[in-house]
Amino acid sequence: MSILFRLGTFCQRGIRPVLLCNTHLSRGLVAHQKNQDVQPFQLAAQRIHATSSHSTVSSSRAASKHWTGERVLSIALLGMAPAAYLCPGPLVDYSVAAALTLHGHWGIGQVLTDYVHGNAKVKLAKAGILLLSTATFFGLCYFNYHDVGLCKAVSMLWRI
């Protein structure tokens, strides 16, 4: 019962849904017309324009494709683990090197997007992550070509 009393005092005109209270809606979204024959609270649809620009739509598609690519790569990495154990070889070694590098590049890129702010800092951070990812990929390829390869190296570490 006290909840009903509090809602009544909170909305100031009896019990109504809390979202229709004047205190919860911004004045730009609500048209309150007192002396006309309309509802007291009506969304001002004439003030809201829901059209989006072409660049917003294309960037939304690119973000969706990027998200899908990340999920496909994650599933591919799950499949590469048994393949690397069951049939180690150059094809699997280079595939694992490329997939792990790309997975790390995208992951660290998301961390940088969340925590690095400012145009100069963002550009410097993106250049740094690109340099780090390139060096990582070429280092793994060098290891695959001149040494035993990633799969054999991991199995040798497990034997220790």
The annotated binding site for heme b is made up of 103
- How many DSSP H helices and E strands does the chain contain? 5, 2
- Beta-carbon contacts of 47 under 8 Å, excluding residues fewer than 6 positions away, are 28, 29, 31
> Which residues are documented as binding site for a ubiquinone?
115
Cβ–Cβ under 8 Å, residues 15 and 4:
yes
Q: Which amino acid would we find at residue 18?
A: V
The three-class DSSP label of residue 42 is strand
Q: Which residues participate in the annotated binding site?
A: 103, 115
Contact 110, 154 (CB under 8 A): no
φ/ψ (deg, to 5) at 31: -105, 110
